Amino acid sequence: MEKSQSNFRKEINNSKFIPVNEPLLNGNEKKYLGICIDSGWISSEGSFVKEFENKFSQRVGRKFGIAVSSGTAALDTALAAIKLKKNDEVILPTFTIISCAASIVKTGATPVLVDCDPLTFNMDIEQVEGKITKRTKAIMIVHIYGLPVDVDPVLNLAKKYNLMIIEDAAEMHGQRYKGKECGSFGDISIFSFYPNKIITTGEGGMVLTDNEWLFEECKKIKNLYFDKERRYIHEDIGWNFRMSNIQAAVGLAQLEQIDRFILRKKRIGKLYTELLTGFENLQLPLDKTNYSENIYWVYPIVLKERLGFDAAEAMKRLLNENVGTRHFFWPMHLQPAFKKMGLFKNERYPVSEKISKYGFYIPSGLAITDDQIERVVRVIREELR
C-alpha cells in the first residue's frame, strides 16, 4: 500500500531518527505555490522569479540578481560570464565543495589551491599571495559552515594584483563580515538554496553582481544564450539553468522568514556549544572571530586524534543511535576526478586533510527541537569516548 505524503511525514516526525537537516516550510510557501498552480504560471516566466531576484539582491545590497537552478549552476554561470581563457588561473581553497573547482575547470582555466584555517575552516589567507602568478585572474573566496573568510586581506591582494573576486556565499545567507552582508564582496557572488541552506527553494541558486554587463551576460548564459531580439538564434552556447516560478514562490516565502531563521540557527549553535563545552574529545566551532559572529549554518565538530578513530567510525556509531550526520568536504587535491586530469599532483594540504578525516557535522536543520539537540549531545557524550 502506498503511503500518503502526510503519513510519511508523521512517521518521520514520530520516529526516533534525528536527521542531519530538515527545513522549515511553515510560512507562506503553500499560499504562493497555490497561486502558481491556480494561475498556471509554473515556468521561469512567472512573476515570482523576478520578485525573488529583486528582494534577495536588495537584501544582500547588490544591484542585480539572476536566479538559477542550483548553487552549482550559479558558479558555472558566474565563471562562464567572467570569460576566463585557457591557462588562466583562479586561486581557491582545497577545502570546499567540488562545484567550486569544477566551475573553473569547465572554463578551461586552472584551479590553484590553498589550505584552510584549522579553526574557521576557511581558506588560509597567508597562503594566497604566494600562489599568485602572471596567469592568475581571480581569487574565489568560499565562506565555510558559518564563519566568513577574512575578506579584507583578500580584497587588498585583488587590488594590488588587479584580480577579480568570485565569492561563494552558498552557505552564508544573512551572515555579515565586519557588518557588511556576505554576498556583497565579489565582483560576482553566488548563493545556493538547497534545502539544507538557511533559506531554500528545493533546488536553486542565485548569481549577484553590481556590474550591468555581467548581469546581462549571466541572463543569457542561464537561458541557452537566446538572442534578445530573435528567439532561437544563439551567438554563444549557454545552459538551461532557469529557476521555475514554483521554486521562486517557495524562495519568497522563505525570504520573509530569514531573520527568524538566522536567530534560530544561532540559538542551535550556541545550545550545542553550551551542552558540549567541557567534553574534551571534540574541537567545537568558534563562536566568533574578530570580524564576525558564527551564524552556525551547520554545527561542525572535529574529533581529537587521541580518540583513535575517525569521522567515518564516529558517524557510524551515531547512526546506530538514530542520529544523522554529514561528512566534511573532501579536499579538491584528493578528488579522483581531478587526479585523472593530472591536476594537483603531489600537492599536500595537511590542515584540510586532517579536518576532512576527523570532521563531520551534526543535526542542525531549522526544524530541530531543543529536546532533539539534547538527545544528540547525550548520544555524542556516550558514543564518542
Which residues sit at the interface with ligand PLP, rule CB under 6 A? 70-72, 96-97, 99-100, 142, 168, 170-171, 192, 194, 205
CB of 229 vs ligand PLP, minimal distance in Å: 32
CB of 140 vs ligand PLP, minimal distance in Å: 10
CB of 374 vs ligand PLP, minimal distance in Å: 27
If the CB atoms of residues 27 and 202 are measured against ligand PLP, the closer one turns out to be 202
If the CB atoms of residues 89 and 168 are measured against ligand PLP, the closer one turns out to be 168
If the CB atoms of residues 46 and 146 are measured against ligand PLP, the closer one turns out to be 146
If the CB atoms of residues 32 and 329 are measured against ligand PLP, the closer one turns out to be 329
If the CB atoms of residues 82 and 276 are measured against ligand PLP, the closer one turns out to be 82
Q: What is the Cα–Cα distance from 197 to 200, expressed in whole angstroms?
A: 6
CB of 25 vs ligand PLP, minimal distance in Å: 17
C-alpha cell at 144: 565555510
Q: What is the Cα–Cα distance from 11 to 277, expressed in whole angstroms?
A: 33
If the CB atoms of residues 109 and 384 are measured against ligand PLP, the closer one turns out to be 109
CB of 197 vs ligand PLP, minimal distance in Å: 7
Distances (CA, A) of 290 to 122, 141, 147, 284, 294: 14, 18, 11, 17, 11
Pairing of strands 359-362, 326-327: antiparallel
Note whether 362 and 5 are within 8 A (CB): no
CB of 24 vs ligand PLP, minimal distance in Å: 18
- CA-nearest of 111, 114, 116, 115 to 138 is 111
If the CB atoms of residues 19 and 71 are measured against ligand PLP, the closer one turns out to be 71
Distances (CA, A) of 344 to 60, 135, 252, 325, 348: 35, 17, 41, 29, 9
Distances (CA, A) of 101 to 76, 108, 178, 295: 10, 11, 27, 25
C-alpha cell at 64: 542585480
Q: What is the Cα–Cα distance from 299 to 362, expressed in whole angstroms?
A: 6
DSSP, res 200: -
Q: What is the Cα–Cα distance from 159 to 176, expressed in whole angstroms?
A: 21
Note whether 106 and 73 are within 8 A (CB): no
CB of 109 vs ligand PLP, minimal distance in Å: 18
Query: What is the torsional sign of CA 42, 45, 48, 53?
Result: positive
CB of 142 vs ligand PLP, minimal distance in Å: 5
Sequential DSSP letters for 9-47: HHHHHHSS-B-S------SSHHHHHHHHHHHT--STTSH
If the CB atoms of residues 244 and 384 are measured against ligand PLP, the closer one turns out to be 244
Closest chain position to ligand PLP (CB)? 71
